[in-house]
Structure 1
Amino acid sequence: MNLTAIAIVAIVFFGVAEIIKQAKKKNPSSSQPNDGLEQQINALKERVETLEKIVTDENYDLKKQFDTLKD
C-alpha cells in the first residue's frame, strides 16, 4: 500500500472518530446510539471499504497514471 492510500484511509478514519466524539459530547448520558449518527458511520465504513478496494487493486498505481498523462 502506498502513502496515498494510507493518507486516504487515515483521513476517513479520523472523520469517523470525530463523529463519534461529537456524538458522545452531545449526549453523554444516553447509551442508545443515535440512528442518524449510526447511518453516517455505516456510510463512512462503506466508503472506507471502497477506498481500500481501490488502493489495494493491482492496477492502482498513481505514479503510472501520472506518467501516462504526461505522454
Structure 2
Amino acid sequence: MSGTTMIFLIVLVSVGFGAIREIYITKLELKKRSTKGDQDVESLKTEISALKERIVVLEKLVTDDGYQVSKDISKL
C-alpha cells in the first residue's frame, strides 16, 4: 500500500467517524427537545382544562336569574 493511499484512507476514516459523531450528537439533542416538548404539551393541557372549568363557572353566573335581575336594576 502506497503512502498516498494510506493517507487517503486515514483521512476518509477520520471524516467518516466525525460525521457519525455529529449525527449521534444531533439525535441526542432532538431527543432532549422532544422530551421537553412533551412536558410543555402536558402543562398546556392542564392549563386548558383549568380554563374550561372557569368558563363553565362563568357561564353559570351569566345565565343565572339573579345576575339578569341585577343587570336590569343597574340599567334603571
Q: TM-score, normalized by length of structure 2?
A: 0.39
Larger RCO (alpha carbons 8 Å, 6+ apart): 1
Structure (1 or 2) with the greater helix fraction: 2
- Rg (Cα) greater in structure: 2
Q: TM-score, normalized by length of structure 1?
A: 0.42
